[in-house]
Amino acid sequence: MALRGKVAIITGSSAGIGAGIAVVFAKEGAKLSLTGRNQNNLEQVVQNCKKAGCQDVLINVGDITKDAFRRTLVDTTKKTFGKIDILVNNAGISGLSSLISTTKEEYDRMMAVNVEAPVFLTQLVAPHLIETKGNVVNTSSCNTTMILPNAGVYVMSKAALDTFTRYLAHELASQGVRVNAINPGHVPTDIMAKVLTKDESDQMARDMLNATPIGRAATPEEMGHIVAFLASDKAAFVTGESFRADGGLSMTTPALA
């Protein structure tokens, strides 16, 4: 149990990769502070975590882009568990539109969730991580090294998150805090279904699957195992890395058109 006794905040943990990370962390012995916008989904994830052996689970339902909610999340986690060892900035949204047609509202929302929220949540958590010699893991995307048509703003936001990872790792290294990111490939979740029709979402999934050399999609739990490794002492000499876990997709596919 590589995370036994560690206290982890996981954002966007009500579904998809975040839910997978939560269950894996539960199996690895962590105490969990989970957050998302869907209370019913979060409560189901809590039950899954308890079945996996974790009885110490706190949930906060709210919008991670709001400063007041971020402060509540950090304060309640510290009050409940007495410390914070790990921050997983997993919450994210996607969207498809060309750069020349993207609206200001679309741009602002993408950057608020995918960049601004992780930056300012990390600022709040950083003093606690310095105290525990903890670490941060950010969920980025393999698309930062590819051309994904009509996803320029989304890819820009994830590229910014990769840069944030490197710079923060450099800033906090002397204080014993590590910072890394994962860059997943095709993981079947509902993130694209929220911005595409079913036919469009199915077609994109087929395109990504066909372009993935390993020949299949990943599961949220597989991403969870990688995050758990990066968050554990097994990765004590790893910081500033963007860990690509995409089944070879970005290695062989510079453009997915």
254 in a structural domain: no
Active site residue 154: yes
Q: Average the pLDDT over each of 78-82, 98-102, 109-113 and give the range with the smallest value.
A: 98-102
Domain of residue 47, CATH code = 3.40.50.720
11-51: pLDDT as tens digits: 999 999 999 999 999 999 999 999 999 999 999 999 999 99
Structural domain for 213, as ranges = 7-245
Mean of the per-residue pLDDT values of the chain:
91
Q: What percent of the chain has pLDDT over 90?
A: 75
Q: Which of 25, 81, 154, 229 is catalytic?
A: 154
170 in a structural domain: yes
Q: Considering just the CA atoms, what is the radius of gyration of the chain in Å?
A: 17
C-alpha span between 68 and 57 (Å, rounded):
21
Q: How confident is the model at residue 212 (pLDDT cuts 50, 70, 90)?
A: confident
Q: What is the pLDDT of residue 73?
A: 98
Average pLDDT over residues 95-115: 94
**Tally of domains within the chain:** 1
220-253: pLDDT as tens digits: 999 999 999 999 999 999 999 999 988 888 777 5
Contact between 121 and 73 under an 8 Å Cβ cutoff? The reply is: yes
38 in a structural domain: yes
81-95: pLDDT as tens digits: 999 999 999 999 988
Which DSSP category does 144 fall into? G
Q: How confident is the model at residue 2 (pLDDT cuts 50, 70, 90)?
A: very high
C-alpha span between 93 and 63 (Å, rounded):
12
Long-range contacts of 251-255 (CB under 8 A, 24+ apart): 251/213, 252/211, 252/213, 253/146, 253/211, 254/145, 254/146, 254/147, 255/146, 255/147, 255/149
252 in a structural domain: no
Instruction: Give the burial string for 13-32 (b: 16+ CB within 10 Å, else e).
Output: bbbbbbbbbbbbbbbbbbbb
69 in a structural domain: yes
Contacts of residue 195, defined as CB under 8 A and 6 or more positions apart, other chains included, come to: 94, 95, 96
